[in-house]
Structure 1
């Protein structure tokens, strides 16, 4: 079997379990597919050519409390309604996302995550985001420094057991779709999360 290179520019330097400051909660490779999706509120010209921008990025959920700026960037639409939510913690990322089978790359930086539905012991929802330096491909673009938002079910109150089903990728933009001018969530693609160990064995990096 192919072995993951320890010097890969797309590798995530994992925090060690038992560290005084950080503890591994779960590490994953995200397989992200950006492009126009049915029902999106993105500008009609965005992705109209049906181009797709695919990349992988390695992430790790940590137990480090997020900075104030990261907390402020965390989506708040799903708060309330009696649902219990965790504090916001730091999401660690590899420094580069891998595009076009390694012939292109996109710098990324850490974000944050939150668990919603803390009172449900069988299933919660993890909502997280990361930041990128952006990428342009014709009429398809990822805006620089604008967070990309993700969410998936987490089973058994365990971040090491995320759903393997496809999830939604979204951005936040100002608009009128909700009836008044406010920041909206707009779908920009889909993704899957695979445990990092499994992904490295499969992908060879």
Structure 2
């Protein structure tokens, strides 16, 4: 093995180890968190679902309470590629369990939706920003339907983001906020001289948008959770479909959105 190949291999292994350690840090804080999700199933822009699915624009909405447990998920669940798509996702998947039986109202009256446990995992997106992809699924064995909106009877996937909240005035998040504020000031100053500095203004706007993607700077789009975790308020709900010549290529089609509405304290052990 050449020295170059050895160094590249060492760098890759080191990065994977750092990312896996970061994933473990988040998973340890997610364990036993309970939350209420407001789920809206229906057609959203960019979906690859068939044109006739939810074409009326109707929605199937319900509230679902879940707990991200500290228990390992079932073995079959560990094969989910979305949750363990590569080495950066780590090797540990834990169980997520429903805490209530969700209901909705249709022309038939009040209907219930059966939900069974699933699994959750995370993937570090940036070491400095401490941003993670947060993914989980739950099993809806009987599905449900309201008008032309059908929640398929299968595993349903939830895709979102979260951040570990750093401490201290000189944390990366605080530095990002200060940098963002500086950019906003710069944009305002540049706006007074648009004719002369159009390119500079465009670059500053792009940088501001990129920073707001990486860091949870917009308080209207995030929610403070337990254990110093910040969650993106809204995520995407998807189903898995197989494509390709052999039908083995996984694709995830959006079927709606979900919102972290509220977090609960675990009352176990109270007198």
TM-score, normalization: structure 2? Answer: 0.56
Q: Residues 88 and 24 from structure 1, CA distance in 2 versus in 1: closer, same or farther, beyond 3 angstroms?
A: closer
Equivalenced residue count is 171
Q: Deviations over 1:47-69 (max 9, x none)?
A: 11111000111111111111112
Counterpart check, 1:137 vs 2:153: no
- Structure 2 distance, partners of 1:24, 1:79, is 21
2:162–2:232: 8 Å Cα contact kept in structure 1? no
Asked which structure has the greater RCO (Cα within 8 Å, sep 6+), the reply is 1
User: Which residue of structure 1 lines up, in the alignment, with residue 41 of structure 2?
Assistant: 34
Counterpart of 2:75 in structure 1 is 68
**Structure 1: segments with no counterpart, 5+ residues:** 1-22, 199-205
2:236 to 164, 168, 175: 168
User: After superposition, what is the alpha-carbon deviation per residue over 1:25-75, rounded to whole angstroms, capped at 9, x for unaligned?
Assistant: 311011000001111111111111111000111111111111112212452
1:37-186 map, 5 Å: 37-73=44-80, 75-76=82-83, 79-80=85-86, 83-100=88-105, 103-117=110-124, 120=127, 122-132=130-140, 133-144=142-153, 146-156=154-164, 160=226, 161-175=229-243, 181=247, 182-186=249-253
Quick one: structure 1 residues 196 and 30, their matched pair in 2 at CA, closer, same or farther if it must change by over 3 Å? Answer: same
Query: In 2, are the aligned partners of 1:169 and 1:189 still within 8 Å (CA)?
Result: yes
Larger strand percent? 1
Contiguous gaps of at least 5 residues in structure 2: 1-29, 167-224, 266-271
Q: Max radius of gyration: which structure?
A: 2
